[in-house]
């Protein structure tokens, strides 16, 4: 997995324009590839459209590519790794200038990344990291520190509990993201780090299961949680959408979200802030999806063979319930 430190690394070699132009072909959009018109050709494979965060991320990438004047080849993997690998291989065949993708899961990428390297097409990771046997198979990651988001969620939960006057043992339910995905693994890890170090005697995760980052998954899994553990004090959801789905299950069970069960989520999408302004979510740890402009800047540098940071972090904040109404009008996603 990506060693999350800031350090400089040389960009992977860029594919020769004359060779790419010779093998240019039509993609699914009907657009020619190979940069014959002088535009940078970027192949981007998105995880899917599982959440409000992901939709905002997709919009940001598309808008930024258009503004930068790039020829964007976009594909939606529908949360399936095999679809994403197929899309990346298609970009390799088309001879794009740069490939960027937000990996569905952490493992299983070496083969296709080696194919891109063999064709001298640099790869940029967005949003999520991967585990690989050779870190030279990709140039950089543009995204968040998910482990730190987990730590921040634990620290903001301390404030939520204090404000609620909750003392003594705390029973926590955790709605995990997609199994094997970097944000699911790392947010859980960061949260547990703080819990084990500072709350080993009073916090306990009594139930934890994936809700696949979807509202439907959050609702279904939370309903099951409440059946097996009706005395849950806190819900930690790895994204807002699962938290919003869980709110529906909590209300269906006759409980008050934000009061009977305190809720901390990650992302900061507008619907999450609406739920927080209504008192149903107690705190949100922001994970900024608006990566498009940063990504396009990195793609240009990589295409030109310039050095880039190994990990380009996004700027984020944390929000308590009493900040929701003031912050809501400023939410761009």
Complete DSSP assignment for 211-248: -TTSHHHHHHHHHHHHHH-TT--EEEESSHHHHHHHHH
Those residues with Cβ within 8 angstroms of residue 225's Cβ, 6 or more apart along the chain or in another chain: 173, 207, 209, 232, 249
195-253 pLDDT, tens digit per residue, is: 999 999 999 999 999 999 999 999 999 999 999 999 999 999 999 999 999 999 999 99
Residue-averaged pLDDT of the chain: 90
What are the strands, taking DSSP E only, across the chain?
A: 8-9, 41-46, 71-76, 98-101, 123-127, 140-143, 170-176, 203-210, 234-237, 262-267, 283-286, 308-309, 311-313, 318-320
Residue 329, pLDDT above cutoff 70: yes
pTM value is 0.84
Please, what is the end-to-end C-alpha distance for the chain in angstroms? 29
Which residue is listed with tokens 């009706």?
230
- pLDDT value of position 331: 86
Residue with tokens 């080849």: 73
Q: Could you give the CA distance from residue 213 to residue 104 in angstroms, rounded to a whole number?
A: 12
**Rounded Cα–Cα distance for residues 113 and 121 (Å):** 9
Strand partners, 176: 210
Q: Distance (Å, rounded) from C-alpha 156 to C-alpha 152?
A: 6
Residue 271 has pLDDT above 90, yes or no: yes
Helix (H) / strand (E) element for 201: namely none
DSSP β-ladder status, 283-286 and 318-320? antiparallel
Instruction: Report the share of the chain in percent with pLDDT over 70.
Output: 89
**Chain CA centroid to CA 38, Å:** 32
Per residue in 87-129, pLDDT tens? Answer: 999 999 999 999 999 999 999 999 999 999 999 999 999 999 9
pLDDT digits (tens, 9 = 90+) for 57-88: 999 999 999 999 999 999 999 999 999 999 99
pLDDT at 333 (0 to 100): 87
| φ, ψ of residue 61 in degrees (nearest 5) | -65, -45
What does DSSP say about strands 234-237 and 283-286: parallel, antiparallel, or unpaired? unpaired
Inform me whether the pLDDT recorded for 29 exceeds 60.
no
Answer positive or negative: Cα dihedral of 72, 75, 81, 82: negative
Q: What is the pLDDT of residue 36?
A: 58
Please write the tens of the pLDDT for every residue from 124-167: 999 999 999 999 999 999 999 999 999 999 999 999 999 999 98
- Which run of H or E residues covers position 273? helix 270-277
């Amino acid at each position: 997995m990506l060693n999350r430190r800031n350090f400089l690394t040389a960009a992977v070699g860029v594919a020769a324009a004359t060779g790419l132009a010779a093998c240019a072909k039509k993609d699914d959009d009907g657009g020619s590839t190979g940069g014959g018109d002088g535009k940078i050709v970027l192949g981007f494979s998105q995880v899917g459209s599982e959440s409000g965060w992901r939709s905002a991320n997709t919009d940001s990438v598309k808008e930024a590519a258009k503004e930068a004047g790039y020829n964007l080849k976009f594909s939606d993997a529908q949360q399936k790794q095999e679809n994403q690998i197929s899309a990346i291989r298609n970009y390799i065949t088309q001879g794009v200038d740069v490939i960027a993708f937000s990996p569905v899961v952490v493992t299983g990428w070496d083969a296709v990344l080696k194919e891109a390297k063999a064709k001298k097409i640099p790869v940029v990771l967005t949003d999520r990291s991967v585990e690989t046997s050779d870190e030279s198979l990709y140039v950089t990651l543009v995204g968040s520190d998910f482990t730190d988001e987990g730590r921040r969620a634990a620290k903001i939960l301390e404030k939520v509990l204090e404000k609620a006057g909750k003392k003594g043992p705390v029973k926590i339910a955790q709605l995990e993201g997609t199994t094997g995905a970097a944000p699911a693994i790392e947010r859980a890890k960061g949260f547990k780090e703080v819990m084990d170090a500072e709350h080993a005697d009073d916090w306990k995760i009594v139930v934890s299961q994936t809700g696949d980052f979807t509202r439907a998954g959050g609702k279904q899994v939370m309903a099951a949680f409440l059946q097996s553990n009706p005395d849950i004090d806190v819900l930690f959801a790895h994204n807002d959408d699962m938290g919003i789905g869980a709110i529906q299950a909590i209300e269906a069970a006759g409980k008050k979200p934000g009061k009977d069960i305190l809720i901390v989520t990650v992302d900061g999408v507008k619907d999450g802030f609406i739920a927080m302004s209504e008192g149903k979510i107690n705190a949100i740890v922001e994970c900024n999806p608006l990566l498009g402009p940063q990504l396009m800047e990195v793609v240009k540098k990589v295409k030109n063979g310039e050095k880039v940071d190994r990990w380009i972090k996004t700027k984020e904040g944390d929000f308590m319930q009493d900040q929701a109404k003031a912050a809501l009008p400023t939410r761009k996603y």
